[in-house]
Amino acid sequence: MTPSLANLLLSHAPPCLSLYQPTHRRHPDNQQDPIRFRNLVKSLEESLQARQPSVDVAALMKPYHALAADTEFWRHSHEGLAVMRAADVFEVIRLPGQVPELAVVADTFHVKPLMRFTQSGERFQILAVDRETVRMFEGDRDVLAEIEPAPGVPRTIEEALGEELTEPQLSVASHGGGGGSKVAMHYGSGSKADEVDSDTEKFFRAVDRAVTEHHSKPSGLPLVLAALPQYHPVFRSLTSNAALIEEGIDIHPGALSPDEFRLRAWAALEPRYQARLAQLAGQYAESLSKGQGSDDLSQVALAALAGRVGTVFVESERHVPGKINSESGAITLAGPDEVGGDDVIDDIAEMVLRKKGEVLVVSTDQMPTRTGIAAIYRY
């Protein structure tokens, strides 16, 4: 779980405002982003005034208006954006994938779209290395973006090895040239190949340690290695990263675009992901037959409140307006005219995460049920 998601799952005094929108990295597409953001902010403001007339709307909305006016911020967008606000928090989260436009005023933050990025088995990272440089990518089956390596991850062999980097050792020999002249020819010393191999191994070892500590452990995402074929066995012989999968991308990283990286990485990961979903779907069916699972919202809400849910499938596209009583677990569905409020499925997912359960946010065609939820109980 990311620090942002963990913070949003803490108890915050309502109202909690959640804004999501797709954004664009490049000009001219990103020119529309602040306009769409202002429209969503207006929707939040109108919903606040209708639902919470006693709240200081101007104070709650002030950070949103400041962000809308920040021209520098809008020059550096990613694929998606989440902006969350309560009296004690204002969190701006750039997302590596697109999200639908959404403006929600509720008693808790709407975090299901965030869960798709932090809990979904469709997400992965790519470590692209050659003998001298490092690049990192993060994304899912649909979108991949290059990310800045975390502080502490060396970007180059010089940064990793510093003074330990072997200096080139050259010898000079003279050979006869045309007209009796002498031409100086430079050769590497006989041990240069060994020095190169030693430097490469030291570099890979430093990269592996840093990526494991600063990327794989915090994110929990599978890692795909992209490198020339001859570097795969070297890197894999020294890695301690449990997130590194066996399948890799055997080509020089500079030869591929981000979209080509995405396609090759997902080709390696999709069989694993589908096998895991099938396994969990089978586990759900078995649990259901034994009374240890359910697709009924009311039953799952009660189980989630009691901490009984070990794993839950939630449908990313499904929204069930309503509230869950935090004391009894009873569900009160919203009326047909109520929009932009609490989502029962989202609230159940939040409760499961707070009780250290696993949430799988999946598309409609990947759901083992038609109710938008499927829970496997711990007991």
DSSP codes joined into one string, 69-101: T-HHHHTS--SEEEEEEETTEEEEEEESS----
**Token pair belonging to 194:** 């060994």
- Tell the CATH topology of 291-379: 60s Ribosomal Protein L30; Chain: A; (3.30.1330)
What's the confidence (pLDDT) of residue 234?
Answer: 94
What's the confidence (pLDDT) of residue 339?
Answer: 59
What number of helices (H) and strands (E) belong to the chain?
A: 12, 17
Calpha distance 86→102 (Å, rounded): 16
**Token pair belonging to 174:** 């003279």
What's the confidence (pLDDT) of residue 177?
Answer: 47
pTM of the model: 0.71
User: Where does 1-110 sit in CATH, by number?
Assistant: 3.30.960.10
Calpha distance 354→326 (Å, rounded): 13
Detail the DSSP E strand segments found in 179-256: 182-188, 223-227, 249-250
Q: What is the domain partition of the chain in residue ranges? A: 1-110, 130-156+190-273, 291-379
What's the confidence (pLDDT) of residue 161?
Answer: 87
Residues composing the chain: 379
What's the confidence (pLDDT) of residue 189?
Answer: 45
Instruction: Please check whether residue 95 is in contact with residue 81, taking contact to mean a CB–CB distance below 8 angstroms.
Output: yes
What's the confidence (pLDDT) of residue 278?
Answer: 94
CB within 8 Å of 124: residues ≥ 6 apart: 138, 139, 140, 221, 222, 223, 224, 265, 266, 269
Calpha distance 134→158 (Å, rounded): 11
Smallest CA-to-CA distance from 234 within 192, 204, 194 is with 204
For the chain, residues with pLDDT lower than 70 are 1-3, 118-121, 167-196, 336-340
From first CA to last CA, the distance across the chain in angstroms is 24
